């Protein structure tokens, strides 16, 4: 159960980080309410949040397992 909790926490933190990064990167492209984002950047921004969520969950589990093994 602890691993599941740590994974959910990592997923949540990764999604929050993805939201913040997406907002910070997309803000310069939006000027006056009109979005002019190139297709490649739009695809990358769309994939950023889920990818960071998964990375956060995996990293949290790995860090938790490593911290349990160390004396």
Give whole-number Cα distances, 2 to 10, 36, 39, 67, 69, in Å.
12, 44, 41, 13, 14
- Give yes or no for residue 9 having a pLDDT over 90: yes
In the chain, the N- to C-terminal Cα span, in Å, equals 22
- Tell me the residue ranges of DSSP E strands in the chain: 30-31, 34-35
- Give yes or no for residue 70 having a pLDDT over 80: no
Query: pLDDT, tens digit, for every residue of 26-53?
Result: 888 777 677 778 888 889 989 999 999 9
CA distance 42 to 50: 14
Q: CB neighbours (10 Å) of residue 14?
A: 22
């Amino acid at each position: 159960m602890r691993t599941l909790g740590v994974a959910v926490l990592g997923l949540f933190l990764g999604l929050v980080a993805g939201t913040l990064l997406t907002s910070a990167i997309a803000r310069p492209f939006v000027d006056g309410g009109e979005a002019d984002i190139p297709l490649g950047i739009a695809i990358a921004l769309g994939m950023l949040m889920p990818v960071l969520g998964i990375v956060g969950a995996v990293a949290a589990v790995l860090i938790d397992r490593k911290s349990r093994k160390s004396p």
